[in-house]
Chains A and B, each alone.
Chain A
């Protein structure tokens, strides 16, 4: 592919993120299968008490997440909400679902969200 997708950018940024305190109580692996079920793009995310590593290999994971490329792109860029998409059945997950619940805070907030006018700074 000529250009990088939002998914690729998201996982590249995630692997550079280093220690993430929000995930410090969690350990496990999540595999993201993004795109057509027959030929998905795969990322394996390993969460180890706040340390995050990402690889492109497949294999077993504690939680497997499936979504369309478009849906996933909307979510990682903050234009859709991961939890709402799960309720819509647009994101599928099997295995330890709590891993996804905790991980979804890594997704961006909505791009247009303005800070409150009155907030300091």
Chain B
């Protein structure tokens, strides 16, 4: 399979092979995408009818790539009398420079050809070969080649032009050139995706991007805390995370150019309630502005109505927004879709955590109405059975999500024996988030909204929930919390990573935390790299099953945070060491998930087959692990540092951490011995 090279700006991006070519098929979802629509599905460069071979690819910047190519068809011998360089960048559209250099000793006549085409597939249809319901067209208009798609008032076009001018036909661009020895020829091609309204004029979907992407990235890196560390791989993982997080920034229409984290590249370059909140939490000590924008933008789109198609209720925080044909014609509910059961509580959690770090009381005052509406949703609309728990059951039975928790695949919630419960379901971590949201909401009510009665009511609800939860979810014969309750109140009793989120939320009765820590670091859940989503030994366990055995770095970063909250420093350091060791094998870019195979057996982390990368909350995982290992915790107007680091990390300094204290530094030294069953290279537990 050809390497997929990706570059992007906002939600405009290119996925192509290592030559820079795009040959989309239902099995190969490459192309130029913008606003969830494919604007190029064919983009193939040939010289004298021959495809090109890649020598190397430089994609050091996320918004530009350079391909170094020579003619030839992949035989061992390459006659390199010609160099072809494709330099590509993404702004509002795609800009591509093609440079051809003659290294031969005589003049040469060449035909440079760029085949172009577009199917205007909706992102949700790219893998299905969906037949278009509207009309596709292609035509040459003067010096421009235009592809278009029209269905009623829905109209999208791709406009291609080149300088120097090409001979245009409806299937591409051709240049016939003569090159003298050592002579160089070049052309610049512009590809502009356009969304048109019924009046034929361009429709805006986003604020204009900053024109200077390189300068913007430099600024972003300069403003983040600086990491110095004896263990070199952590420095490069940190830098990779910051750059990927920059690439994943997304500015919705209402944000005035400010950015929040989109969920992932390439297929999730849009706002997701859950992913944007989790990533903002992870990044708080490093880039707190992401949290502010996430909170504001989610608040502007908070549910206000009852809408079964969108699973919307008043106060609910959205799940996902999409901009393509399926959203426009309501074949999919993403305009926006509200079907999640966690983002609404997490919205309040983020608001509180954000204020603790930044001291930005103004935003908390500003969002009081939305935060109260969110807490009301948790207490009232989410409680489908009226028994005080958060339950989910989709009302959109055709295109809504069945599992409205982060483990959203069909088989993720099961009993030990593999049976799947009916609906509604109340997964355990949702109760943890609901508890935490009330506790944190109570603080905001008391200290910032000056409503002590409301604070007291929230605390009463929280205490009551904690008591009932510890009674109803505790699996006595396993000494852990059930994955969920079923509608009859029975325990969905599989052992899962969700118990780690419970530690993070604080809903765990203190005497039980030790048991959870033992499970999380025990052989059934801990692979050596991290905590598996589902424990080995459960009927549905599969080390490469999406939510039933793989290890998710994001999941682990919150588990480590939870362990530290209950005082398990060594255990948190062990998880951090495993995930950061894995990061090194992925060149600092942690995938969404990797295999749950025991580390001692595979010795390297096995990438999950179709994982999307970079994904925002995987990118955020090393950041949260850094926070966790350093024990960073805001306390009033100062930052507490209480480091508990794996030995192999040596000395570490995180400098200029922003917050309500201005900027402060954190220092630490590796003191905890952790286990590293594979020893392919220097790893965190072993030392340098």
Q: Which residues of A contact B (CB under 8 A)?
A: 21-22, 24-25, 37, 66, 78, 81, 83-84, 86-90, 92-93, 97-98, 101-102, 105, 108-110, 112-116, 118-120
**Interfacial chain B residues near A92, Cβ < 8 Å:** 197-199, 201, 203
Main secondary structure on B side of the interface with A:
loop
Contact A109 B335 (CB under 8 A): no
Asked whether A89 and B203 contact (CB < 8 A) given A109-B312, A113-B305, A118-B424, the answer is yes
Contact A120 B380 (CB under 8 A): yes
Asked whether A21 and B199 contact (CB < 8 A) given A102-B300, A118-B386, A119-B380, the answer is no
Q: Which of A78, A102, A116 has the most CB of B within 10 A?
A: A116
Q: Contact residue range for chain B?
A: 35 or more
Q: Tell me if B611 counts as interface (CB < 8 A to partner A).
A: no
**Interfacial chain A residues near B304, Cβ < 8 Å:** 22, 105, 109
Q: Tell me if B307 counts as interface (CB < 8 A to partner A).
A: yes
**Interfacial chain B residues near A90, Cβ < 8 Å:** 152-153, 198
Q: Which of A24, A86, A88, A97 has the most CB of B within 10 A?
A: A88
In the assembled complex, the Cα of A105 lies from the Cα of B336 at a distance in Å of 12
Other A-B pairs beyond A83-B335, A87-B154, 20, CB < 8 Å: A37-B199, A81-B335, A86-B203, A87-B323, A87-B324, A87-B328, A88-B154, A89-B195, A89-B196, A89-B203, A90-B153, A90-B198, A92-B197, A97-B204, A109-B306, A109-B312, A110-B305, A110-B309, A116-B313, A118-B386
Q: Tell me if B253 counts as interface (CB < 8 A to partner A).
A: yes
**Interfacial chain B residues near A87, Cβ < 8 Å:** 154, 323-324, 327-328, 335
In the assembled complex, the Cα of A22 lies from the Cα of B304 at a distance in Å of 9
A43 CB to nearest chain B CB (Å): 19
Main secondary structure on A side of the interface with B:
loop
B308 CB to nearest chain A CB (Å): 5
Contact A118 B384 (CB under 8 A): yes
In the assembled complex, the Cα of A16 lies from the Cα of B173 at a distance in Å of 59
B222 CB to nearest chain A CB (Å): 29
Q: Which residues of B contact A (CB under 8 A)?
A: 152-155, 195-199, 201, 203-204, 253-254, 256, 300, 304-310, 312-313, 323-324, 327-330, 335-336, 366, 369, 380-381, 383-386, 391, 395, 424
Asked whether A101 and B300 contact (CB < 8 A) given A114-B308, A118-B386, the answer is yes
Asked whether A115 and B306 contact (CB < 8 A) given A84-B335, A89-B196, the answer is yes
Contact A25 B305 (CB under 8 A): no
Contact B366 A88 (CB under 8 A): no
In the assembled complex, the Cα of A101 lies from the Cα of B383 at a distance in Å of 30
Closest residue of chain B to A107, judged by CB?
Answer: B305
In the assembled complex, the Cα of A93 lies from the Cα of B198 at a distance in Å of 11
**Interfacial chain A residues near B153, Cβ < 8 Å:** 88-90
**Interfacial chain B residues near A24, Cβ < 8 Å:** 369
A107 CB to nearest chain B CB (Å): 9
**Interfacial chain A residues near B155, Cβ < 8 Å:** 89
Closest residue of chain A to B305, judged by CB?
Answer: A109
A101 CB to nearest chain B CB (Å): 5
Asked whether A84 and B328 contact (CB < 8 A) given A89-B196, A89-B197, A118-B386, the answer is yes
